[in-house]
């Protein structure tokens, strides 16, 4: 259903006004920043409340008004093509909520009936709407309202509110931190059992921490990854400075960028800007810095 035809199917004046505003301001809506989305929500809420969005578009029709808006915006079609280009551009390859599962856009090759090689772009991820499309259907296709996530986190969040903002203008981008307990390290060296290790998930904002754990069980998820913490601990014990010197001396041409050696040492990306390029990069970086494997 083209968006321009939607007003004719809405009997209520305010519903028509709601749709007309989407039509008139769609470029603004599509590219709205997080701050601009807050302004748009205020403006649209003055037209219709959340309860009024559930009105059936026609009698004997299952489709509600908010669902009709999402359908008219062609969200499903855009998700299969244009949004995949956007995801490739921002280069996020892990779930933005847990950083534990991959979120990939792939191009598998297959052969058609004429035996010609064809590539089909496919998403191995889910898109979470930071502002749920059931409550804010006009934001269904807004680029900065879409978060690439794993299925588990997307299902866990549902329509609930997350306090974590992926797209932000603040200078403090390192809001979460993993830390290996010093006491647990002592227990580990006495027993050499990874079960004695303890890694805590922390945040200076207590409300954000509680919200993130309540929605996505981050602490519980990473409690299953003590083998990674153990490996980092063993690498730190094995004097990586000597290993680094050898690599730089013998293979200097290969390692002109020192961060490549850091990646070899910790088994993951070592720069904060790259935490969304591989699962568990944040966890690995935080513990590696604590153990002085990387600076």
Q: Which residue has the higher pLDDT, 129 or 50?
A: 129
Could you give phi then psi for residue 141, rounded to 5 degrees? Answer: -115, 10
- Give CA separation, 63 vs 96, 112, 137, in Å: 31, 37, 13
For residue 52, name the pLDDT band (cuts at 50, 70, 90): confident
pLDDT exceeds 70 at position 128: yes
Residue in 17, 11, 143, 120 with CA at minimum distance from that of residue 73 = 143
Q: Considering the chain, what percentage of its residues have pLDDT values greater than 70?
A: 94
Per residue in 18-42, pLDDT tens?
A: 999 999 999 999 999 999 999 999 9
Per residue in 82-120, pLDDT tens?
A: 888 888 888 999 999 999 999 999 988 877 777 777 788
- What is the DSSP annotation of 171-205? S----EEEEE-HHHHHHHHHH--GGG--EEEEES-
- Whole-model pTM: value is 0.88
pLDDT at residue number 258: 83
Q: Where are the domains of the chain?
A: 3-157, 176-290
pLDDT at residue number 98: 98
Q: In sequence order, what are the residues at sequence separation of 6 or more whose Cβ sits closer than 8 angstroms to the Cβ of residue 140?
A: 69, 70, 73, 75, 129, 133
Q: State how far the Cα of 163 lies from the Cα of 251, in Å rounded to an integer.
A: 46
Q: Are 143 and 86 in contact (CB under 8 A)?
A: yes
pLDDT exceeds 50 at position 241: yes
Q: State how far the Cα of 123 lies from the Cα of 126, in Å rounded to an integer.
A: 8
Q: Which residue has the higher pLDDT, 65 or 215?
A: 215
Q: Which residue has the higher pLDDT, 273 or 117?
A: 273
Per residue in 202-225, pLDDT tens?
A: 999 999 999 999 999 999 999 999
pLDDT exceeds 60 at position 267: yes
| pLDDT, average across residues 138-148 | 96
pLDDT at residue number 177: 97
Q: State how far the Cα of 98 lies from the Cα of 10, in Å rounded to an integer.
A: 40
Residue in 41, 52, 50 with CA at minimum distance from that of residue 10 = 52
Q: State how far the Cα of 87 lies from the Cα of 79, in Å rounded to an integer.
A: 10
Q: State how far the Cα of 131 lies from the Cα of 126, in Å rounded to an integer.
A: 15
- What is the DSSP annotation of the chain? --GGGGGGG--SHHHHHHHHHHHHTHHHHHT--HHHHHHHHHHHHTT--TGGGG-BSSTT---BHHHHHHHHTTHHHHHTTHHHHHHHHHT--B-TTTSSSB-EEE--EEE-TT--EEE--EEESEEEESS-TTT-GGGTT-GGGEEEE-HHHHHHHTTSPP---SS--SS----EEEEE-HHHHHHHHHH--GGG--EEEEES-HHHHHHHHHHH-HHHHHTT-HHHHHHHHHHHHT-HHHHHHHHHHHSTTT-SSHHHHHHHHHTS--SGGGGGGSTTHHHHHHHHHHTTS--
pLDDT at residue number 221: 98
pLDDT at residue number 36: 97
pLDDT exceeds 50 at position 7: no
Judged on CB neighbours under 10 Å (0-12, 13-18, 19+), 76 is exposed
| pLDDT, average across residues 232-243 | 90
For residue 10, name the pLDDT band (cuts at 50, 70, 90): low
For residue 6, name the pLDDT band (cuts at 50, 70, 90): low
pLDDT at residue number 1: 46
Average pLDDT, the chain: 90
pLDDT exceeds 70 at position 3: no
């Amino acid at each position: 259903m083209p968006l321009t035809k939607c007003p004719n199917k809405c009997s209520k004046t305010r519903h028509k006004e709601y749709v007309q505003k989407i039509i008139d301001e769609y470029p603004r809506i599509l590219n709205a920043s997080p701050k601009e989305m807050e302004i748009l929500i205020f403006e649209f809420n003055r037209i219709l409340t959340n309860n009024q969005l559930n009105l059936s578009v026609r009698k004997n029709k299952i489709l509600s008004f908010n669902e009709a808006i999402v359908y008219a915006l062609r969200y499903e079609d855009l998700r299969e093509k244009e949004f995949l280009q956007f995801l490739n551009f921002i280069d996020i390859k892990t779930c933005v909520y847990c950083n534990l599962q991959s979120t990939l856009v792939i191009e598998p090759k297959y052969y058609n009936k004429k035996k010609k090689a064809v590539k089909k772009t496919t998403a191995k991820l889910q898109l979470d709407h930071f502002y749920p499309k059931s409550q804010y259907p006009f934001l269904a296709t807004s680029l900065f309202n879409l978060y690439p996530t794993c299925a588990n986190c997307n299902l866990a969040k549902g329509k609930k509110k997350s306090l974590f903002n992926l797209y932000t203008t603040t200078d403090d981008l390192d809001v979460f931190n993993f830390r290996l307990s010093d006491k647990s390290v002592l227990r580990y060296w006495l027993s050499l059992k990874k079960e004695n290790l303890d890694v805590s998930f922390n945040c200076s904002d207590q409300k954000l921490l509680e919200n993130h754990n309540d929605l996505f069980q981050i602490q519980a998820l990473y409690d299953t990854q003590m083998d990674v913490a153990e490996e980092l601990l063993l690498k730190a014990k094995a004097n990586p400075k000597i290993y680094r010197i050898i690599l730089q001396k013998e293979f200097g041409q290969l390692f002109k960028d020192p961060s490549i050696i850091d990646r070899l040492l910790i088994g993951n990306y070592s720069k904060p800007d790259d935490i969304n390029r591989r699962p568990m990069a944040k966890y690995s970086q935080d513990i590696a810095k604590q153990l002085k494997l990387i600076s």
